[in-house]
């Protein structure tokens, strides 16, 4: 296999390996669900297709379709566990218990501290409801219905948190943490809390892998020993203590490195591509019958991971985007016929641009990847800008980086992570705006702001700080509980575990029929630009 960055872009989505687990119910074979392997092909689908179901593949004439669907859903969302490979693996009582504060640094064998009276554990049968709204009609705003009649079907995911029984002895654990992709506010917060929680369990051998997956193969890069003393104050700064990079070695080389290092817990912080790599690592460990727990923590500033309320860094990004928007607003309103253009992050999903437009209340036009638009023509963006200049004297435009790519010349080039290198829609919009107003003989003072790297490098705000803290804790709880090939996130405000393949099949998108997008349109007052 090629580099780790190719596991999703070249070979499609990694199969959902459940170690030794397989479907036992033959009825489930009649119900199939489409997976999208190629990110670039996602826009050929309906933009609102963010849910896990693909209703066109369900035989609604079968009176048992609802039961079949629910059984298939439960099967797909079953969490891979070390007992799939090692059925005789014996659980032990957890060393995590907040009623008992015995130091965890001494030897454990045969004398594990006990906290059986503590009632802070999560039962393995606890679930979180994935959908909370009963839509009475498929035409309801934001409706995501399984069948044409919009019948309610319960969908549950596994609740995150500490379990009473664990499957790893703390003194035998070597845990590794790796941060991949680009920077994102909150990386240090997650690293810090993973280390602290591991130490509370009793783990003393914790290392960081420098500069993403690259650190597994580059002989010049050495492990970074981690402890509470090392990470105590890292959350006060942005960036990543361990460094980041895109791409890296192949899956086999990474798993070879894990074996050589003696790592049996791997915590991977990254986005869709990084999680595809984590899932491939999990599958290879299953294939080699290695007792290694691979746990993901979704890190994407774009907030484009399926099924989750949000990802860490998003709140901070929206908050920091306000500074750029406010600057553009002041520039525009201080100039004669001023126009401010702000480009924000969002390769495939426009969540940052949408939420920033709503939060600021200063945006007149919000352009996102999910909603096609024309710049030119009677119904285009430039025509509306002319109207705004004539009626209000100024305007502010917010555009996501992945918006309007059909208007730009494609290069077919990719970065080290396998992502298509996008054309610069911000600069293009700026140039076309200047050109348009010059051609029609109307003065326009156009200012352009791109705060991308300033936002990525900043420290997490209070909201993201709390979020990252709980994500880091739950990642460690999941590893000690014996799960692998999973990721942690929030679902309907509750923390939950998800099988990695179920959240990386394609980016989560803004639904043009969602209430949030309608709210954004109400705030900006913009028309359709088609």
CA atoms of 31 and 28, how far apart (whole Å)? 6
Is 41 marked within a binding site?
A: no
Is 455 annotated among the ligand-binding residues? yes
Strands 92-93 and 445-449, by their bridges, are unpaired
CA-to-CA dists, residue 45 to 35, 54, 97, 307, 372, angstroms:
12, 11, 47, 18, 13
Contacts of 447 (CB under 8 A, 6+ apart): 328, 331, 332, 335, 338, 339, 340, 341
Report whether 525 belongs to an annotated binding site.
no
Within 335-375, where are the H helices? 351-360
Beta strands in 401-485 (DSSP E): 445-449
- Which of 56, 78, 206 has its CA nearest to residue 146? 56
Is 302 annotated as contributing to ligand binding?
yes
247 annotated binding-site participant:
yes
On whether 274 is known to bind a ligand per the annotation, the reply is: yes
Say which of 302, 315, 464, 511 is annotated catalytic.
302
456 annotated as belonging to a binding site for a ligand = yes
Residue 191 among known ligand-binding residues: no
Contact in structure between 135 and 167 (CB atoms under 8 Å): no
For residue 270, say whether it is annotated as part of any ligand binding site.
no
Residue 350 annotated as part of some ligand binding site: no
Q: Is there a binding annotation on residue 453?
A: yes
Q: Return the SS3 of 374.
A: coil
> Pairing relation of β-strands 293-298 and 224-225?
unpaired
- 199 labelled binding-site residue: no
Q: Is 426 helix (H, G, I), strand (E, B) or coil?
A: helix
Known active-site residue 57: no
For strand 365-367 and strand 265-270, is the pairing parallel, antiparallel, or unpaired?
A: unpaired
User: What number of CA atoms fall less than 13 Å from residue 422's CA on the CB side?
Assistant: 20
Distance CA 282, CA 266 (A): 10
The answer to whether the annotation marks 52 as part of a ligand binding site is no
**Would the annotation count 8 as a binding residue?**
no
Q: Which DSSP state fits 365?
A: E
Q: Is position 305 annotated in a ligand binding site?
A: no
Q: Could you list the active site residues?
A: 302
Binding site as annotated, residues for substrate: 300-302, 345-347, 401, 453-456
Binding site for Mg(2+): which residues? 272
Q: Which residue ranges are tagged as binding site for ATP?
A: 182, 246-247, 271-274
Q: Which amino acids are annotated as binding site, given as ranges?
A: 182, 246-247, 271-274, 300-302, 345-347, 401, 453-456
């Amino acid at each position: 296999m090629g580099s780790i960055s190719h596991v999703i872009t070249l070979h499609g989505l990694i199969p959902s390996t459940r170690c030794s687990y397989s479907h036992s119910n033959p009825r489930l074979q009649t119900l199939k669900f489409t997976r999208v392997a190629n990110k670039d092909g996602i826009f050929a689908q309906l933009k609102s297709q963010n849910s896990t179901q693909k209703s066109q593949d369900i035989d609604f004439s079968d009176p048992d379709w609802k039961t079949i669907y629910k059984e298939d859903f439960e099967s797909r969302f079953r969490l891979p566990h070390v007992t799939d490979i090692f059925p005789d693996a014996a659980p032990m009582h957890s060393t995590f218990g907040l009623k008992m504060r015995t130091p965890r640094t001494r030897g454990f064998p045969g004398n594990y501290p006990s906290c059986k009276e503590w009632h802070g554990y999560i039962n393995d049968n606890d679930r979180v409801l994935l959908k909370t709204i009963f839509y009475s009609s498929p035409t309801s705003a934001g409706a995501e219905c399984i069948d044409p009649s919009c019948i309610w079907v319960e969908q549950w995911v596994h609740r995150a948190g500490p379990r009473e029984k664990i499957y790893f002895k703390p003194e035998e654990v070597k845990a590794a943490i790796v941060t991949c992709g680009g920077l994102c506010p909150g990386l240090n917060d997650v690293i810090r809390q993973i280390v602290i929680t591991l130490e509370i369990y009793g783990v003393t051998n914790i290392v960081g892998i420098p500069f993403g997956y690259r650190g597994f193969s580059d002989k010049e890069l050495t492990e970074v020993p981690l402890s509470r003393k090392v990470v105590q104050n890292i959350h006060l700064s942005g960036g990543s203590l361990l460094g980041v990079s895109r791409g890296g070695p192949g899956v086999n080389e990474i798993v070879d490195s894990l074996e050589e290092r003696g790592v049996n817990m791997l915590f991977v912080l990254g986005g869709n591509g990084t999680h595809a790599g984590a899932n491939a690592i999990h599958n290879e460990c299953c294939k080699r019958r290695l007792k290694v727990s691979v746990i993901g923590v979704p890190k994407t500033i774009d907030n484009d991971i399926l099924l989750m309320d949000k990802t860490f860094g998003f709140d901070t990004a929206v908050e920091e985007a306000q500074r750029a928007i406010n600057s553009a607003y002041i520039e525009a309103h201080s100039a004669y016929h001023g126009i401010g253009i702000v480009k924000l992050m969002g390769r495939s999903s426009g969540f940052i641009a949408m939420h920033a437009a709503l939060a600021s209340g200063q945006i007149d036009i919000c352009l996102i990847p999910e909603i096609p638009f024309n710049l030119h023509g009677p119904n285009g963006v430039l025509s509306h800008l002319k109207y705004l200049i004539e009626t209000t004297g100024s305007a502010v435009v917010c555009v996501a980086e992945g918006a309007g790519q059909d208007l730009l010349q494609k290069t077919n080039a990719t970065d080290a992570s396998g992502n298509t290198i996008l054309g610069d829609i911000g600069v293009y919009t700026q140039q076309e705006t200047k050109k348009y107003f010059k051609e029609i003989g109307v003065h326009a003072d156009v200012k352009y702001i791109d705060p991308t790297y300033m936002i990525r490098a900043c420290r997490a705000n209070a909201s993201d700080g709390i979020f990252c803290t709980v994500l880091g804790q739950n990642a460690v709880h999941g590893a000690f509980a014996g799960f692998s090939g999973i990721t942690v996130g929030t679902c309907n405000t509750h923390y939950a575990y998800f099988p990695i393949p179920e959240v990386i099949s394609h980016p989560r998108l803004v639904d043009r029929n969602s209430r949030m997008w309608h709210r954004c349109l109400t705030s900006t007052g913009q028309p359709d630009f088609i």
